[in-house]
């Protein structure tokens, strides 16, 4: 199980309906994209951090370990706006308004990433995917997503076990040994994945699979109070941004 999925299963909001958390988390993402980056995205970023570390109860170290990956992509994308290729300044020169545009992009993307992480850290995929059928997503698509989700963990576990076995046999002591181990890892993981898929198909056929996977979903109801409070928070952020935009700009 991935660390972010394990955190979602132990979240304080684990028993809340996914719609409640989607309104708040994805609403923050939409605001980060649509509002002016300063001060709108900055306010969204600060609000998402407070909600994640406060009411949602996400540990700071675990949040940073998950956040640093999308943040790296955000920084990489923003750095490219600092320079321009060609023009009167030479082959490579500092772009006009490059720092401003890079800062705006970094604010938007980092705040939007936190909104998505708020939803991911509080909603396990096993709670979300089965409910997508009720939302109108075709059942075969949801079944494929469920099987892929399950098989990905089995594949990661197989890769970990194979690497441990290779390390115990001194398979990572030199560059040549590492290349041989890498090739063996890929081949063995492929064969095991194929074997697990075959066994899964046989198991489903033995249980009378008729084209629909039936799984138990924890009972939960949409909280009108939580949803209303989330909408009020989102509206307050939008109004505060419009009020502060001119003085701070």
Please name which of 186, 114, 203, 188 lies closest in space to residue 150, comparing C-alpha atoms. Answer: 203
Euclidean distance between the first and the last CA atom of the chain, given in angstroms as a whole number:
45
Do 84 and 178 reside in the same domain of the chain? no
Q: What gap in Å lies between CA 152 and CA 142, rounded to an integer?
A: 15
Domain range holding 199? 130-206
Give the tens place of pLDDT for each residue, 145-193: 888 887 888 888 888 888 899 888 888 888 888 898 999 988 988 888 8
Please name which of 204, 108, 96, 83 lies closest in space to residue 150, comparing C-alpha atoms. Answer: 204
Average pLDDT value for residue range 113-129: 89
Q: What are the start-end ranges of the E strands in 105-242? A: none
The pLDDT of residue 196 is 84
Do 11 and 96 reside in the same domain of the chain? yes
Do 198 and 226 reside in the same domain of the chain? no
Instruction: Give the count of domains, the chain.
Output: 2
Please name which of 94, 93, 98 lies closest in space to residue 81, comparing C-alpha atoms. Answer: 98
Regarding pTM above 0.75, the answer is yes
Q: What gap in Å lies between CA 125 and CA 178, rounded to an integer?
A: 35
Do 108 and 134 reside in the same domain of the chain? no
Average pLDDT value for residue range 125-131: 81
Residue 93 main-chain phi, psi, to 5 deg = -145, 170
Quick check: bond before 39 cis, omega within 30? yes
Q: What gap in Å lies between CA 37 and CA 249, rounded to an integer?
A: 11
Do 50 and 148 reside in the same domain of the chain? no
Ramachandran category for residue 128: left, alpha or beta (phi over 0 → left; psi -120 to 50 → alpha): alpha
The pLDDT of residue 116 is 93
Contact in structure between 104 and 92 (CB atoms under 8 Å): no
Give the tens place of pLDDT for each residue, 189-237: 888 888 888 888 888 888 877 767 777 777 788 899 999 999 999 999 9
Do 54 and 85 reside in the same domain of the chain? yes
Do 21 and 110 reside in the same domain of the chain? yes
């Amino acid at each position: 199980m991935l660390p972010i999925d394990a955190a979602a299963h132990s979240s304080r909001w684990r028993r809340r309906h996914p719609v409640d958390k989607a309104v708040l988390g994805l609403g923050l993402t939409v605001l980060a994209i649509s509002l002016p980056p300063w001060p709108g995205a900055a306010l969204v970023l600060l609000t998402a951090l407070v909600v994640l570390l406060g009411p949602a109860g996400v540990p700071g170290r675990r949040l940073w370990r998950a956040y640093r990956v999308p943040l790296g992509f955000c920084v990489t994308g923003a750095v490219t706006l600092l320079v321009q290729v060609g023009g009167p300044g030479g082959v490579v020169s500092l772009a006009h308004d490059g720092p401003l545009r890079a800062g705006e992009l970094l604010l938007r993307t980092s705040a939007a990433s936190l909104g998505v992480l708020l939803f991911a850290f509080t909603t396990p995929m096993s709670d979300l995917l089965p409910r997508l059928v009720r939302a109108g997503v075709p059942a075969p698509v949801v079944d494929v997503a469920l099987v892929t989700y399950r098989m990905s963990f089995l594949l990661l576990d197989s890769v970990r076990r194979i690497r441990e076995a290779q390390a115990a046999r001194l398979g990572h002591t030199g560059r040549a040994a590492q290349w041989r181990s890498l090739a063996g890892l890929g081949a063995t993981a492929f064969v095991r994945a194929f074997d697990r898929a075959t066994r899964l198909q046989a198991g489903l056929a033995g249980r009378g699979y008729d084209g629909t996977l039936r799984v138990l979903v924890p009972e939960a109801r949409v909280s009108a109070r939580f949803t209303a409070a989330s909408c009020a928070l989102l509206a307050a952020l939008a109004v505060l941004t419009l009020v502060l935009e001119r003085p701070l700009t």
